[in-house]
């Protein structure tokens, strides 16, 4: 990856508003979704203008799935979930972003997909910061 | 891939009931979801016991994303959708299966994710067979 690959990337304002920034992996910005109903992490490849996974260049596609599987394993090991939901939807926010949501058989939306089911429950600031710190440690990324 | 890698794989009965089999790519069984509300294709890696994408062996992970991106590009080119939804949920049917759903700004669930929004609208037999034939041609797979 050359330094220039990030050029022109800006996080979509809707993602910036809804999420806390955990840090950057080599390809993706890592976000914590501001909803304490579920451990919910979003990966956003830092490339401008992307809408679909299949638009990633081949080397970035390999990076993306490397980062996604690493994140998925780490989340499931740390939070002990029953199922991971991985989804690239983007019907509302067009910038490519991929949800990784740890699901529990007792969570408020189970077994439905989470979108639109429960009202968002925001984190308290300290709880959000602590969760971001845990994620940084899991992924070995700086703030 | 050795021939033995498929050993022990059986399509989950719920997927077999809800979908038509399009054919097999080198890793995945390709299914057409029996809901004519959306062009909706499911990839199921033919490996026994998998529940999560991050459980795929490294070589299978690369195969999987190659097949997924090829399918995604082909679907979007053929059906002219506005957005592709790609999702591995599996809260109800545990066998790893990954949805690829072509979305249109005028489709019945837009912009919501499709699950649980609209009643399923079954294909007529001839329409389903024709769509499977189109998919086989797009992907170069036999029935």
Q: How far is CA A103 from the centre of its chain?
A: 14
- Rounded to two decimals, the pTM is 0.96
> How does pLDDT run across A99-133, given as a tens digit for each residue?
999 999 999 999 999 999 999 999 999 999 999 99
Does the pLDDT of residue B143 top 80, yes or no?
A: no
Does the pLDDT of residue A2 top 70, yes or no?
A: no
Of B54, B68, B116, which is closest to A69 when you measure between CB atoms?
Answer: B54
Whether residues A69 and B85 touch (CB distance < 8 A) is answered with no
- What backbone phi and psi angles, to 5 degrees, belong to B66? -65, -45
The rounded percent of chain A whose pLDDT value lies above 70 is 97
| Chain A interface, best mutation among B75, B83, B139, by max A CB count within 10 A | B83
The domain spans of chain B are: 13-139
> How does pLDDT run across B19-44, given as a tens digit for each residue?
999 999 999 999 999 999 999 999 99
**What is the distance between the terminal CA atoms of chain B, rounded to a whole angstrom?**
21
CA distance linking residue A66 with residue A60, whole number of Å: 10
Is the CB of residue A112 less than 8 Å from the CB of residue A37? no
* Alpha carbon of B57: minimum distance to chain A alpha carbons (Å): 11
Minimum CA–CA partner of B114 in chain A: A113
Decide: helix, strand or coil at residue A116.
coil
Count of A-B CB contacts under 8 Å: 97
pLDDT at A142: 82
- What backbone phi and psi angles, to 5 degrees, belong to B85? -100, 120
Measured CB to CB, residues of chain A less than 8 Å from chain B are 51-54, 56, 61-62, 65, 68-70, 72-73, 76, 83-92, 94, 103, 110-113, 115-116
* Alpha carbon of A49: minimum distance to chain B alpha carbons (Å): 14
* CATH node for A13-139: 3.30.428.10
Q: What value does the mean pLDDT take over residues A20-25?
A: 98
Of B91, B111, B115, which is closest to A83 when you measure between CB atoms?
Answer: B91
Q: DSSP character for A124?
A: P
Is the CB of residue A32 less than 8 Å from the CB of residue A132? yes
Residue of A108, A50, A129 whose CA lies nearest to B69: A50
Max Cα–Cα distance, chain A, nearest Å: 45
Q: What angle do CA A132, A91, B92 make, to 5 degrees?
A: 75
């Amino acid at each position: 990856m050359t330094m220039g690959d990030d050029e022109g990337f800006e996080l979509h304002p809707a993602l910036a508003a809804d999420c806390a920034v955990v840090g950057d992996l080599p390809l993706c910005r890592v976000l914590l979704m501001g909803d304490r109903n579920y451990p919910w992490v979003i990966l956003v490849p830092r490339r401008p203008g992307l809408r679909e996974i299949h638009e990633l260049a081949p080397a970035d596609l390999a990076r993306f799935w490397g980062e996604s599987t690493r994140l998925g394993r780490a989340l499931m090991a740390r939070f002990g979930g029953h199922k991971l939901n991985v989804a690239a939807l983007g019907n509302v926010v067009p910038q490519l972003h991929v949800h990784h949501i740890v699901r529990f058989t007792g969570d408020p939306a189970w077994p439905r997909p989470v979108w639109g089911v429960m009202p968002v429950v925001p984190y308290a600031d300290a709880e959000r910061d602590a969760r971001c710190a845990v994620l940084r440690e899991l992924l070995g990324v700086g703030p």
